[in-house]
């Protein structure tokens, strides 16, 4: 790791690739027979198994290698049965020593880590206690992973709101174990179609606010994606995720963030911190303008006292992708304090050389602003 950089470079949304047998090893014993696992079906295709049921997604069956796949032949990755999950998983996804080597090569000082298999199962699991058991197993494993170097690897706890009381208990436990934030699925099926302001979630929001545990919304891949009807084939069967599907994964995150504002969640919990991840960042300026304008129109029946943008400035950050060519003017327009960045390593849509690419796009900004986006904001936001 170079010591010539003026301030640390922090990957605020890197990923791990959970080993195929991890949940079976780390889950509470009473749930071991229902643990997440990978099985091969009668046609020889790998699939994810949640609560002893196969994942109902034609896009993913036989294509688990594309869950990782960084730097690999994408056509091969998306050809059913060609690449297994293990074959698509570089060592940096599951071995902390290898991950630190990748970070050194990329020029990344610290990484804040999120799950991969964890972004698939919510909505497919309906037993609240099992959902919490899944998150607890993952959280135990990611804490162990990050113990390799606790000054460079930082675990984010996966929390399921399907079990509101279990969510509180697991958040407190994970915080004590060293987790620096909470990943929440942004979609309604993950919490039994309850809105964020449902009374059953009050204790959770109070808890993450009181213990200064930022929450983050991240894209998810579920059995029935948002806008699923738009990707159906002529015969009515689900089509591949494709360009449309990959692009619109961001919609769930944008929706959750907008819902938090319009439901008055940042009004009710003024010390709650929220990160908006893997939806890009250059949309945020136009979206805040739109929210502010529509907020004036609906002022009489929207439960907020500030402009929507003011809640964002007070409590939120948004993650930029390294390839966003318009990031510098957007940062300059809104202010550099509200932006972090993400490598998305080791997913199929990630690439190498991202720090160099990001620095090139940030170059028009003053050095102090570049350093905020590259790492200082993440350090401040997560109290690293």
How do residues 29-78 score in pLDDT, each as one tens digit?
A: 999 999 999 999 988 999 999 999 999 877 788 889 999 999 999 999 88
Q: Which two tokens stand for residue 139?
A: 């959280």
Q: Is the pLDDT of residue 225 over 70?
A: no
Query: Residue 161 contacts by C-beta under 8 Å, 6 or more apart in sequence?
Result: 167, 184, 185, 190, 191, 194, 201, 204
Q: Are 144 and 168 in contact (CB under 8 A)?
A: no
Give percent above pLDDT 70 in the chain. Answer: 94
**How does the average pLDDT of the chain come out, rounded?**
93
Q: Is the pLDDT of residue 234 over 70?
A: no
Per the DSSP assignment, residues forming a β-bridge with 277 are none
Measure the CA–CA gap between 54 and 60, rounded to whole angstroms.
11
- Arithmetic mean of pLDDT, 339-354: 96
Q: b/e for 285-318, b at 16 or more Cβ within 10 A? A: bebbeebeeebeeeeeebebebbbbbbbeebbbb
How do residues 94-108 score in pLDDT, each as one tens digit?
A: 999 999 999 999 999
Measure the CA–CA gap between 14 and 237, rounded to whole angstroms.
33
Q: Are 15 and 344 in contact (CB under 8 A)?
A: yes
Burial class (CB in 10 A: 0-12, 13-18, 19+), 349: middle
What is the DSSP-derived secondary structure letter of residue 304? -
Question: Domain coordinates of the chain in residue numbers?
Answer: 10-15+96-381
Q: Is the pLDDT of residue 224 over 70?
A: no
Q: Are 45 and 61 in contact (CB under 8 A)?
A: yes
Q: Is the pLDDT of residue 2 over 60?
A: no
Strands of 274-276's sheet, edge to edge? Answer: 10-15, 110-114, 153-158, 181-184, 215-217, 274-276, 316-320, 339-341
Q: Are 45 and 65 in contact (CB under 8 A)?
A: no
Q: What's the pLDDT at 135?
A: 98
Q: Are 183 and 115 in contact (CB under 8 A)?
A: yes
Greatest CA span in the chain, whole angstroms? 58
Q: Are 187 and 220 in contact (CB under 8 A)?
A: yes
Helical H segments across the chain, by residue range: 22-26, 74-77, 91-94, 96-106, 128-146, 164-177, 202-210, 242-248, 250-262, 265-268, 284-297, 308-315, 327-334, 354-362, 367-371, 377-381
Query: Residue 297 contacts by C-beta under 8 Å, 6 or more apart in sequence?
Result: none
How do residues 280-296 score in pLDDT, each as one tens digit?
A: 999 999 999 999 999 89
Q: What's the pLDDT at 341?
A: 98
Measure the CA–CA gap between 19 and 21, rounded to whole angstroms.
5
Provide the pLDDT confidence category of residue 1 given band limits of 50, 70 and 90.
very low
Alpha carbon separation from 284 to 117, 316, 357 (Å, rounded)? 28, 11, 21
Tokens 């769930």 sit on residue: 252
How do residues 191-217 score in pLDDT, each as one tens digit?
A: 999 999 999 999 999 999 999 999 999
HSE-up (13 A, CA, CB side) for residue 98: 11
Measure the CA–CA gap between 146 and 152, rounded to whole angstroms.
8
Quick one: how far is CA 168 from the chain centroid?
Answer: 19
Q: What's the pLDDT at 3?
A: 45
Give percent above pLDDT 90 in the chain. Answer: 83
How do residues 116-147 score in pLDDT, each as one tens digit?
A: 999 999 999 999 999 999 999 999 999 999 99
Q: What's the pLDDT at 240?
A: 59
Q: Which two tokens stand for residue 18?
A: 């959970």
Residue with the bigger pLDDT between 273 and 246: it is 273
- 3.40.80.10, 3.20.20.140, 3.30.2130.10, 3.50.30.50: CATH of 10-15+96-381: 3.20.20.140
Measure the CA–CA gap between 193 and 196, rounded to whole angstroms.
10
Helical H segments across 58-155, by residue range: 74-77, 91-94, 96-106, 128-146
Q: Are 122 and 187 in contact (CB under 8 A)?
A: yes
Q: What's the pLDDT at 119?
A: 95
């Amino acid at each position: 790791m170079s010591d010539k950089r003026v301030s640390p470079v922090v990957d605020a949304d890197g990923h791990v690739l959970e080993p195929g047998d991890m949940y079976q090893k780390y889950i509470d014993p009473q749930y071991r027979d229902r643990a997440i696992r990978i099985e091969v079906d009668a046609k020889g295709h790998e699939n994810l198994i949640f609560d002893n049921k196969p994942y109902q997604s034609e896009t993913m069956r036989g294509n688990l290698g594309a869950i990782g796949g960084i730097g690999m032949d994408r056509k091969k990755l998306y050809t059913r049965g060609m690449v297994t999950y293990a074959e698509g998983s570089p060592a940096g996804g599951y071995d902390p020593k290898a991950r630190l080597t990748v970070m050194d090569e990329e020029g990344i000082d610290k990484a804040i880590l999120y799950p991969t298999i964890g972004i698939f199962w919510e909505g497919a699991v309906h037993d609240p206690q099992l959902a919490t058991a899944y998150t607890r197993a993952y959280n135990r494993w990611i804490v162990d992973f990050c113990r390799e170097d606790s000054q460079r690897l930082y675990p984010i706890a996966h929390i399921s709101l399907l079990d509101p009381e279990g969510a509180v208990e697991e958040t407190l436990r994970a915080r004590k174990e060293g987790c620096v934030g909470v990943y929440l699925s942004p979609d309604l099926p993950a919490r039994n179609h309850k809105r964020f302001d449902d009374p059953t979630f009050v204790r959770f929001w109070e808890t993450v606010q009181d213990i200064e545990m930022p929450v983050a919304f991240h894209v998810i891949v579920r059995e029935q994606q948002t806008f699923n009807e738009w990707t159906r084939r002529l015969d009515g069967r689900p089509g591949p995720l494709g360009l449309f599907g990959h692009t619109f994964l961001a919609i769930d995150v944008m929706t959750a963030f907008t819902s938090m504002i319009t439901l008055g969640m940042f009004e009710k919990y003024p010390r709650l911190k929220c990160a908006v991840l893997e939806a890009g960042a250059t949309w945020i300026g136009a979206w805040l303008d739109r929210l502010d304008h529509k907020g004036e129109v609906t002022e009489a029946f929207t439960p907020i006292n500030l402009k929507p943008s003011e809640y964002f400035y007070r409590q939120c950050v948004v993650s930029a992708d390294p390839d966003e060519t318009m990031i510098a003017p957007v940062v300059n327009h809104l202010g550099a304090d509200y932006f972090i960045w993400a490598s998305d390593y080791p997913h199929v849509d990630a690439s190498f050389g991202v720090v160099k690419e990001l620095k090139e796009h940030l170059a028009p900004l003053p050095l102090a602003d570049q350093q905020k986006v590259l790492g200082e904001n993440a350090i401040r936001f997560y109290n690293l």
